[in-house]
Amino acid sequence: MNIIRYPERAEWNNVLKRSALHTEDIRPAVQEIIGKVRTEGDRALYEYEEKFDKVKLASLIVTPEEFDEAGKALESGLKEAILRALENIRAFHAAQKFESKKVETVPGVTCWQKAVPIEKVGLYIPGGTAPLFSTVLMLATPAQIAGCKEIILCSPPNTEGKIHPAILFAAQAAGVKKVFKAGGVQAIAAMAYGTESVPKVYKIFGPGNQYVTVAKQEVSLRDVAIDMPAGPSEVAVLADETANPVFVASDLLSQAEHGVDSQAVLITTSETLLRETQAEVERQLAALPRKAITEKSLESSRLILVKDLNEALDMVNEYAPEHLIIETKDYQDIAERVINAGSVFLGPYAPESAGDYASGTNHTLPTNGYAKAYSGVSLDSFIRKITFQEITREGIRTLGPTIQVMAENEHLDAHKNAITVRLL
């Protein structure tokens, strides 16, 4: 890992630079796939599944029998873990339900909001080297609680035409009834435009590689909403001399193993912790099955030594990490001063892994500095708020003159007249 000691603030942009996403060279190919799925529907999906996932499918939809097979294929310990995580995720997201409140702004004028679920949502779940069945729970659970009428899920099949059994078990447990065998760009296009088999949705959620990221960007320009801008996953650990280097190293490595473009950053006030963490990273890395991926990720990761906790916090808020772990003596006080982060983990016993799987918070979070402006997925991600207003005769007489003056000064005479005719 790169070690940087006492960087000047003018250097922070370079010090905190993420891995660049070079997407322009793949955009034409992504656009071609999207266009073909849009015009040819299922036929294009079958063709691309054979080309990219190396499987000749007889059907795109997962059958009830395949759901049953998935449940039988999983060992009981994993099924119990999935159900326990689901319970925690459901409890946390259910507590986010919106409570409407009517406000009388002036006598006779009452305004309020109503929360309405997005009717049709699509969830994309990657397969490949790390089938993200946990993401099924993170996306399907709030969708169910919100009351979305149609929830569909796409995930790439293996060469035998099967979706990973843990993904299917998690989907069924979370209440998803329609699952389709489609991966990558073609899956995003299918959900954005609909095919003979795959329904069109109004909003698409879920992570993916750079092709999926570009596909989501493309379809969101005019045709469908997406959860948030996405980039490679990342973690920042803010630690002082009281932190345990074994814990800190494990946190950095758990992030780094996500993928070669992931980033792990330690920001610390302690030279001793920095050196001990560096040694501990090397020791733990040697035992990891995904060592090659993790090593590549560590090339763009950082161990940064700063003067004090005030500077450390400034750097954290400038970086705006997807995940932030605070391992300091007074972590509660430090946490109050965090303003830019996707999800924050407090104390020595709160690793990122907890939020990734089972504590209850959502792991679909803004990356690449977007935590300065975006929130992670929550119940609100699956609802819309519609505003209402009721105005009585008394209300229009009270408020009308204000509206007339404003409309007249914006030279919108028809707006003014809509008030005038009611005041006659």
Q: How confident is the model at residue 1 (pLDDT cuts 50, 70, 90)?
A: confident
Q: Which two tokens stand for residue 294?
A: 């993790």
pLDDT of residue 339: 98
Pairing of strands 103-106, 109-117: antiparallel
Is 129 inside any structural domain?
A: yes
User: Following DSSP, what letter does each residue of 378-419 receive, concatenated?
Assistant: -GGGGEEEEEEEEE-HHHHHHHHHHHHHHHHHTT-HHHHHHH
Q: Does 415 belong to an annotated binding site?
A: yes
pLDDT of residue 44: 98
Is 12 inside any structural domain?
A: no
CA distance 16 to 315: 9
Of 226, 255, 277, the position where a domain reaches its end is: 226
Q: Does 14 belong to an annotated binding site?
A: no
Is 22 inside any structural domain?
A: no
**Domain CATH for 129:** 3.40.50.1980
Q: Does 314 belong to an annotated binding site?
A: no
Complete edge-to-edge strand list for the sheet that includes strand 323-327: 2-5, 302-305, 263-268, 234-239, 323-327, 343-346
pLDDT (tens digit per residue) in 51-107: 999 999 999 999 999 999 999 999 999 999 999 999 999 999 999 999 999 999 999
161: left (phi over 0), alpha (psi -120 to 50) or beta: left
**Whether 256 and 362 share a structural domain:** yes
**Whether 350 and 409 share a structural domain:** no
The residue to which tokens 């009611």 are assigned: 422
**Whether 207 and 248 share a structural domain:** no
pLDDT of residue 197: 98
Is 255 inside any structural domain?
A: yes
**Cα angle 46-47-51, degrees, rounded to a multiple of 5:** 115
Half-sphere exposure of 18 (CA within 13 A, CB side): 22
Q: Average pLDDT of 7-27?
A: 91
**Whether 237 and 138 share a structural domain:** no
Q: Does 411 belong to an annotated binding site?
A: no
CB 54 within 8 A of CB 324: no
Q: Average pLDDT of 305-313?
A: 98
Say how many domains are in the chain: 3
Q: Does 255 belong to an annotated binding site?
A: yes
Residue positions annotated with a catalytic role:
322-323
Question: How does DSSP classify residue 61?
Answer: B
Taking 80 as the threshold, does the pLDDT of residue 4 lie above it? yes
Which residue type, as a one-letter code, is found at position 66? E
Is 381 inside any structural domain?
A: no
CA distance 190 to 204: 11
> Measuring CA to CA, how many Å separate 211 from each of 29, 34, 48, 186?
9, 11, 14, 10
Of the candidates 281, 288, 320, the residue with the CA atom closest to the CA atom of residue 303: 281
Taking 70 as the threshold, does the pLDDT of residue 387 lie above it? yes
Q: How confident is the model at residue 203 (pLDDT cuts 50, 70, 90)?
A: very high
pLDDT of residue 129: 65
**Whether 101 and 235 share a structural domain:** no
**Whether 46 and 117 share a structural domain:** yes
pLDDT (tens digit per residue) in 365-386: 999 999 999 999 999 999 999 9
**Whether 346 and 304 share a structural domain:** yes
CB 166 within 8 A of CB 78: yes
CA distance 316 to 265: 10
**Whether 201 and 283 share a structural domain:** no
Taking 90 as the threshold, does the pLDDT of residue 230 lie above it? no
Is 141 inside any structural domain?
A: yes
**Domain CATH for 402:** 1.20.5.1300
The pTM (predicted TM-score) of the whole model is 0.95
Residue 12: phi, psi to the nearest 5?
-60, -40
Taking 70 as the threshold, does the pLDDT of residue 6 lie above it? yes
**Whether 266 and 209 share a structural domain:** no
pLDDT of residue 22: 77
Of 226, 252, 281, the position where a domain reaches its end is: 226
pLDDT of residue 366: 96
**Whether 406 and 346 share a structural domain:** no
**Whether 172 and 237 share a structural domain:** no
Is 377 inside any structural domain?
A: no
Taking 80 as the threshold, does the pLDDT of residue 20 lie above it? no
pLDDT (tens digit per residue) in 107-159: 999 999 999 999 999 999 998 667 899 999 999 999 999 999 999 999 999 99
CA distance 187 to 376: 23
Q: Give residue 399's domain range.
A: 392-423
**Whether 202 and 235 share a structural domain:** no
CA distance 196 to 395: 51
Question: Which residues are CB-contacts of 382 (< 8 A; sequence separation ≥ 6)?
Answer: 117, 118, 121, 142, 143, 145, 146, 148, 203
Question: Which residues are CB-contacts of 197 (< 8 A; sequence separation ≥ 6)?
Answer: 41, 42, 45, 59, 60, 61, 180
Of 226, 251, 269, the position where a domain reaches its end is: 226
